[in-house]
C-alpha cells in the first residue's frame, strides 16, 4: 500500500515548509504521504449490516480454546477459486442506507480431514438456507457432509460451519453464500466515495481490502497465503462503468427488481491474495495508452479531471516506470493491463491491487498550472511504489503480515529508483535520505521502537496487523534494503531479486527466502562479505534501533553502541544480538577517495582512520548505512572549520548528515548542544536544498520546545540572519520572484527561503506573500501565485490576516476541483493565529460534509502544528476521542500519527500526566494508536529532560550569535 497519513513522513508532498515565525508561529508542517506510503490505512466501520441481525456466538474468551476463537485460519482447507457477484446500490434505500448484495461460490480443497469450516466474514448479513448460513456441495462426484450448525463469530470475524461428518482429504467442495452488506463511507472493504458535480452528489462504489477487509465484501479465506483465482461479476447502473483486477467481457443489459442494469463479468484473475482484490463502479472517464501498446494502461478519474488533463502526467510516466521494473526485475509485467484510478475518498496514498491500482487523487492527478513540483514528485514516487508491487508483493507475496516490512520497505526503496528513471534530473536517489531515512531514525531511536520483522505468533489481530503500517515498516525497511544493495552492489542485488521472483512466482515466501537468493547471487560474484547475507541482515531486522559509530581519528579506535535519543530510557525489549550490528563503514578524508571496512564487534582498531593534525574525516558516505556517526572533538572542530571555509569539498548529503547527526547526538547527550548549533553557522554560505532542509527540521525541534518561552525571540533573530542571504539569492536568480528556478531541488529550497524569511521577519517577505494573496482575493478566478509557492503564501497570509482571509481561503477550498489545491488550502487554513477560527476548524474536521473522513486526522495534526492550535487540538481530541475512534475507524493507522502530531510539543510534567490520564481513560479504545501513545510518553519524558538540561545554554548561544558587532 502506498504511504498513508502517518504524519512523521516528510516528503513535502505539497512541498510544505512551514512558517516558524513571529507572525505565523507555525512549525514545519510535515504533511503527506497521503501516503501508499508513506498505503495503508484501513478503517474498520462501526456500522452494522442492514437487514436482520445475524446469529452470533457468546463473547469469545481471552484464552482461545476452540479453533474459531483463534485469529489464524487452520491449515485444513485451501481455496481454489471464487465466483463472486456483487450489486452495489448507488442510491440509498428507504432506511437511508447504501447497501450492496451479492453471492459467492467458493471452490476449495480439503488438505486435512476436518469436520469444521472456518471462513472470514465481517459485517455481512448472510442469507440462511434451512437454518444455515451457507450451502455445501461436493465436486467430482463426492457427496458433501451435511451442515450441523453455523454461526458468526464476531470477535475473530469468522463464519463458523460445523459438519455432521468430516470432509475428505484431497477432495474438492463448493461453498455458496448469499449476503447483504452496507456500502458505508468507512474507507474499508467495499465502500462508497462521494463527490459533487454541479451541485449533484455522485456515488462511487470502490474497495480497500488491505489488510483484513476483503471479508467485508464477501466471505473468504482472508489471509495472504490463501491465494486463489477470482471470477468477479458486477451489476451496476446503465450510466456507469465497472472495473476489476482483470479485463472485462462485454457488459450486457439485465433487469433486476424492476431496474434496468448492466452486468459486467471479468476474466479470471491470476492466482492472487484476497487483499489485492479491487472492484470499482463509477461514471469516471479515462485516458489510455495507444492500441498497439504491449500493456494497456488506463488512467481513470472524475470526468472533469480527465477533461482538464490531470491524468496526463500519470499516463506519460506509467509506461516508462513499468519498463524500468521489467528490466530491473528481469521479468515481464505479469498482466495484460494496468488500470490506475483516482478516488475522491481514499484512506491511504494508494493501494497496489493487481491490475487495478487505487489512489488518493493527490497521488495520481497532476495539473501543471496549479500543482507544485512537490505534487509532481509525489505522483511519480507513488506510481513507482505501486508498480514495484506488481512483482514484489503481488506476483510473490509474503506468507503473513509479520513480514510486511519486506513488501513495503522494498517498494519504498525501489520507488525512488523508478522515479529516478522517469525523472532523471530530479536527484531522486539522493532524496530518499531526506524523505525516508532521516525521519525514521528519530522514531527508531526510541526505546519503544520495534524490530522490522516480528514473529508470526505476535501479529494476529486486525489491530496488531494495522499497527505494522508505520514508518519503521516503510522507511527503515527501505533504508536497510538500500544499505544491503549498496554493500553487495546493485548488480548482484537485482540478480538475486530476479531468481527469487522466478522461483516463487504466484506463491508465498518468508524473508529468509530472499536472503537465500541474494546469497546465491553474492556467491556467484566477486563480492566478499564477512558473513552471509542472512547473518549480517538479521542484526538489522530482528532487533530494533541502529548504532551510533564513534570514530577516534587520533587512536584509530572505532566503536558502536545502540543509539537512543534519551540515554536514560529503559530498553526492556531483549535483543538476540545484544544490540550490536555488523556495520558497513565508508569514509573519505581530505587525502583521497572513499574507503571501506566492516565493524563486526563493539570496538575495532582501523589504522586508516588515524589523521594528521590538520586532516579531516567524514564517514557514512551519502548515508548509505543506517547508522549515525560521532567523532573525537578535534575532528568535529576540523569539520566545522571546513564547513565554514570550503563546504563543497564535503558531499551534499554528508553536509546534511553532519547537521542531522550533530543535533541528534546532542539530544542523546553525546555532544554538546552548542556543537550542534554551530553546524548551522555556515548556512549563510549554503545554497543547496538538502543541508537547509535538514537544518530546518533539526531546528524545528528547538522551536517545538521553546516557541512558548523566552528562547523564541533570539532563536528567530538567529535564523533570520542565516536565511537572509538565501532569500536574497533566490530573489536574484528568479528576477525578483518572476521566474521559477530550473533545478528541482532549487525549487524546493526557494520555498524554504520564503517560508523561513517570512516567519522570521526578513524585510519585504511578508509584504510579498500578503500582496500576492490579496491580489488573488481581489480576483478569485485568476490565481497568479506560483504553484510551488502556494502553500507558503497561503499559510503566511492567513497567519498575518484575520477572518476575511480565512473565509476566502475556506471558500476557495470548498470550490476547487483540484485535489492538490484543496490539500494546500486545507493545510494553510490551520495557520491562522485566531483561536476561535482554529476551534471552528476543529469542529469542521468531524463533519464529513466539510472535511472528508480521509483528511480529518491530518487536518487536526496541521492545527496542532500551530503553537496556538496545539492545546486547542489536544483538548478537542480528548473530548471527542470516543466519537473519533468509533466513527473514523480504530484500525486506521493514521490514529498513530494523530497521537504523535498532538504530542510533539509536550515537554512538561503536566503534559506527561495528561498523556498518562488519556491512556487510562481510553484503555481498550486506542486501536492502532497504542504504540504511538507509548512512543509519545517516552518522547515527552525525553523532552522534559532535554529542556531542563539545555534551555539556559541554548538561550545564551542564540543571544551571543545575534549580538550586534562591536
Cα Rg of the chain, angstroms? 28
Grid cell locating 819: 485535489
- Rounded CA gap, 913 and 249, in Å? 61
Residues ≥6 apart with Cβ < 8 Å to 314: 299, 340, 364, 365, 366, 379, 383
Q: Under a CB-based contact definition with an 8 Å cutoff, are residues 378 and 396 in contact?
A: no
The residues with which 200 forms a beta bridge, in sequence order, are 197
Q: Under a CB-based contact definition with an 8 Å cutoff, are residues 155 and 206 in contact?
A: no
- Rounded CA gap, 866 and 859, in Å? 11
Expressed in percent and rounded to 5, the helix, strand and coil fractions of the chain are: 45, 20, 35
- Rounded CA gap, 41 and 636, in Å? 43
Element (H, E) at 541: helix 533-541
Cα–Cα distance list, 721 to 514, 604, 647 (Å): 51, 43, 19
- Rounded CA gap, 673 and 464, in Å? 38
Residue 778: phi and psi, rounded to 5, are: -75, -20
- Rounded CA gap, 31 and 17, in Å? 9
Angle at 469 between CA 426 and CA 411, to 5 degrees: 40
Q: Under a CB-based contact definition with an 8 Å cutoff, are residues 45 and 184 in contact?
A: yes
Residue 520: phi and psi, rounded to 5, are: -60, -40
Pick the catalytic residue from 386, 686, 805, 938.
386
* DSSP-derived secondary structure for 77-108: EEEEEEEEEEEE-SS--TTS--EEEEEEEEEE
The owner of cell 548528515 is 657
Grid cell locating 130: 434451512
Q: Under a CB-based contact definition with an 8 Å cutoff, are residues 206 and 184 in contact?
A: no
Beta strands in 302-448 (DSSP E): 337-343, 350-351, 356-360, 396-398
Cα–Cα distance list, 870 to 8, 377, 836, 867 (Å): 16, 30, 13, 5
- What is the three-state SS of 460-525? CCHHHHHHCCCHHHHHHHHHHHHHHHHHHCHHHHHHHHHHHHHHHCCEEECHHHHHHHHHHHHHCC
Reported as half-sphere exposure (CB side, CA atoms, 13 A), residue 451 has a value of 21
- Rounded CA gap, 367 and 906, in Å? 39
Please return the burial class of 528, using the count of CB atoms within 10 Å of its CB with bins 0-12, 13-18 and 19+.
Answer: exposed
Note if 534 is an active site residue: no
* Residue 511 CA to its chain's centroid (Å): 21
Q: Is the dihedral of CA 811, 812, 813, 818 positive or negative?
A: positive
Residues in the chain: 966
Beta strands in 577-679 (DSSP E): 583-589, 592-599, 603-605, 617-619, 628-631
Catalytic residues: 386
Amino acid at each position: 500500500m502506498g504511504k498513508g497519513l502517518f504524519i512523521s513522513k516528510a516528503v513535502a508532498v505539497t512541498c510544505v515548509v512551514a512558517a516558524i515565525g513571529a507572525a505565523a508561529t507555525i512549525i514545519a508542517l510535515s504533511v503527506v504521504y497521503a501516503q501508499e506510503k508513506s498505503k495503508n490505512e484501513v478503517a474498520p466501520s462501526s456500522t452494522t449490516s442492514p437487514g436482520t441481525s445475524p446469529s452470533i456466538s457468546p463473547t469469545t474468551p481471552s484464552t482461545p480454546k476452540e479453533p474459531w476463537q483463534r485469529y489464524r485460519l487452520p491449515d485444513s482447507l485451501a481455496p481454489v477459486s471464487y465466483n463472486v457477484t456483487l450489486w452495489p446500490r448507488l442510491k440509498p434505500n428507504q432506511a437511508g442506507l447504501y447497501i450492496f448484495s451479492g453471492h459467492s461460490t467458493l471452490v476449495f480443497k480439503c488438505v486435512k480431514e476436518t469436520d469444521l469450516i472456518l471462513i472470514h466474514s465481517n459485517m455481512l448479513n448472510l442469507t440462511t438456507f434451512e437454518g444455515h448460513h451457507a450451502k455445501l456441495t461436493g465436486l467430482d462426484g463426492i457427496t458433501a457432509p451435511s451442515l450441523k450448525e453455523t454461526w458468526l463469530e464476531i470477535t475473530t470475524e469468522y463464519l463458523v460451519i460445523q459438519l455432521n461428518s468430516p470432509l475428505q482429504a484431497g477432495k474438492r467442495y463448493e461453498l455458496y453464500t448469499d449476503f447483504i452488506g452496507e456500502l458505508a463511507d468507512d474507507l474499508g472493504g467495499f465502500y462508497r466515495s462521494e463527490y459533487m458535480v454541479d451541485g449533484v452528489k455522485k456515488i462511487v462504489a470502490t474497495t480497500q481490502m488491505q489488510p483484513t477487509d476483503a471479508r467485508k465484501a464477501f466471505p473468504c479465506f482472508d489471509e495472504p497465503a490463501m491465494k486463489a483465482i477470482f471470477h468477479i461479476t458486477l451489476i451496476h447502473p446503465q450510466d456507469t462503468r465497472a472495473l476489476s483486477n482483470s479485463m472485462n467481457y462485454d457488459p450486457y443489459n439485465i433487469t433486476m427488481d424492476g431496474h434496468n442494469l448492466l452486468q459486467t463479468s471479468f476474466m479470471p484473475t491470476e492466482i492472487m491474495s484476497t487483499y489485492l482484490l479491487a472492484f470499482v463502479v463509477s461514471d469516471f472517464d479515462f485516458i489510455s495508452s495507444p492500441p498497439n501498446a504491449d500493456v494497456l494502461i488506463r488512467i481513470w478519474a472524475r470526468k472533469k479531471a480527465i477533461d482538464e488533463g490531470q491524468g496526463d502526467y500519470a499516463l506519460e510516466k506509467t509506461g516508462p516506470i513499468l519498463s524500468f521494473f521489467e528490466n530491473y526485475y528481469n521479468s515481464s509485467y505479469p498482466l495484460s493491463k494496468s488500470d490506475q484510478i483516482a478516488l475522491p475518498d481514499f484512506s491511504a496514498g494508494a493501494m497496489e491491487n493487481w491490475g487495478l491500482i487505487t489512489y488518493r487523487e493527490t497521488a495520481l492527478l497532476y495539473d501543471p498550472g496549479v500543482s507544485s513540483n512537490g505534487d509532481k514528485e509525489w505522483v511519480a514516487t507513488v506510481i513507482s511504489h505501486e508498480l514495484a508491487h506488481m512483482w514484489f508483493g503481488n506476483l510473490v507475496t509474503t506468507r503473513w503480515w509479520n513480514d510486511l516490512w519486506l513488501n513495503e520497505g522494498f517498494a519504498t526503496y525501489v520507488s525512488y529508483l523508478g522515479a529516478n528513471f522517469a525523472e532523471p534530473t530530479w536527484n531522486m536517489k539522493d532524496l530518499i535520505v531526506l524523505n525516508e531515512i532521516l525521519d525514521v531514525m528519530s522514531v527508531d531511536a526510541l526505546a519503544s521502537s520495534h524490530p522490522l520483522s516480528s514473529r508470526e505468533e505476535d501479529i494476529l489481530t486486525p489491530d496488531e496487523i494495522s499497527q505494522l503500517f508505520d514508518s519503521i515498516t516503510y522507511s527503515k525497511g527501505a533504508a536497510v534494503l538500500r544499505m544491503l544493495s549498496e554493500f553487495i552492489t546493485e548488480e548482484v542485488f537485482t540478480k538475486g531479486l530476479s531468481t527469487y521472483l522466478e522461483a516463487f512466482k504466484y506463491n508465498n515466501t518468508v524473508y529468509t527466502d530472499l536472503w537465500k537468493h541474494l546469497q546465491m547471487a553474492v556467491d556467484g560474484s566477486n563480492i566478499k562479505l564477512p558473513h552471509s547475507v542472512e547473518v549480517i541482515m538479521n542484526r538489522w531486522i530482528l532487533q530494533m534501533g541502529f548504532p551510533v559509530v564513534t570514530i577516534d581519528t587520533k587512536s584509530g579506535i572505532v566503536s558502536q553502541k545502540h543509539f537512543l535519543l534519551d540515554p536514560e530510557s529503559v530498553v526492556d525489549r531483549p535483543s538476540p544480538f545484544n544490540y550490536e550490528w555488523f556495520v558497513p563503514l565508508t569514509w573519505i578524508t581530505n587525502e583521497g577517495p572513499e574507503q571501506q571496512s566492516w565493524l563486526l564487534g563493539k570496538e575495532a582498531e582501523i589504522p586508516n582512520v588515524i589523521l594528521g593534525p590538520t586532516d579531516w574525516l567524514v564517514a557514512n558516505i551519502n548515508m548509505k548505512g543506517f547508522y549515525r556517526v560521532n567523532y573525537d572533538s578535534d575532528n568535529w572542530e576540523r569539520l566545522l572549520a571546513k564547513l565554514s571555509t570550503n563546504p563543497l569539498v564535503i558531499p551534499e548529503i554528508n553536509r546534511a548528515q553532519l547537521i542531522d547527526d550533530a543535533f541528534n547526538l546532542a539530544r542523546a547527550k553525546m555532544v554538546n548542544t552548542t556543537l550542534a548549533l554551530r553546524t548551522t553557522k555556515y548556512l549563510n554560505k549554503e545554497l543547496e536544498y538538502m543541508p537547509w532542509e535538514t537544518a530546518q527540521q533539526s531546528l524545528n525541534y528547538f522551536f517545538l520546545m521553546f516557541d512558548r518561552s523566552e528562547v523564541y525571540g533570539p532563536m528567530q533573530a538567529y535564523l533570520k540572519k542565516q536565511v537572509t542571504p538565501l532569500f536574497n539569492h533566490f530573489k536574484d536568480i528568479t528576477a525578483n520572484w518572476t521566474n521559477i528556478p530550473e533545478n528541482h531541488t532549487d525549487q524546493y529550497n526557494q520555498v524554504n527561503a520564503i517560508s523561513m524569511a517570512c516567519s522570521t521577519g526578513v524585510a519585504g517577505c511578508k509584504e510579498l506573500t500578503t500582496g500576492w494573496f490579496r491580489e488573488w482575493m481581489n480576483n478569485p478566478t485568476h490565481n497568479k501565485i506560483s504553484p510551488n509557492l502556494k502553500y507558503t503564501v497561503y499559510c503566511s497570509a492567513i497567519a498575518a490576516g484575520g477572518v476575511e482571509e480565512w473565509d476566502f481561503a475556506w471558500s476557495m477550498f470548498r470550490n476547487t476541483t483540484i485535489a492538490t489545491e484543496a490539500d494546500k488550502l486545507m493545510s494553510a487554513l490551520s495557520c491562522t493565529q485566531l483561536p476561535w477560527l482554529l476551534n471552528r476548524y476543529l469542529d469542521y474536521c468531524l463533519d464529513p460534509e466539510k472535511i472528508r473522513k480521509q483528511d480529518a486526522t491530518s487536518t487536526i495534526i496541521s492545527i496542532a502544528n500551530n503553537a496556538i492550535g496545539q492545546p486547542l487540538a489536544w483538548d478537542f481530541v480528548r473530548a471527542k476521542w470516543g466519537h473519533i475512534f468509533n466513527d473514523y475507524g480504530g484500525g486506521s493507522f493514521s490514529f498513530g500519527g494523530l497521537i504523535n502530531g498532538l504530542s510533539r510539543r509536550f515537554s512538561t510534567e503536566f503534559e506527561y500526566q495528561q498523556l498518562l490520564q488519556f491512556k487510562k481513560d481510553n484503555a481498550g479504545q486506542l486501536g492502532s494508536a497504542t504504540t504511538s501513545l507509548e512512543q509519545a510518553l517516552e518522547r515527552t519524558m525525553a523532552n522534559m529532560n532535554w529542556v531542563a538540561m539545555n534551555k539556559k545554554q541554548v538561550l545564551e548561544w542564540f543571544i551571543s550569535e545575534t549580538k550586534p558587532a562591536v
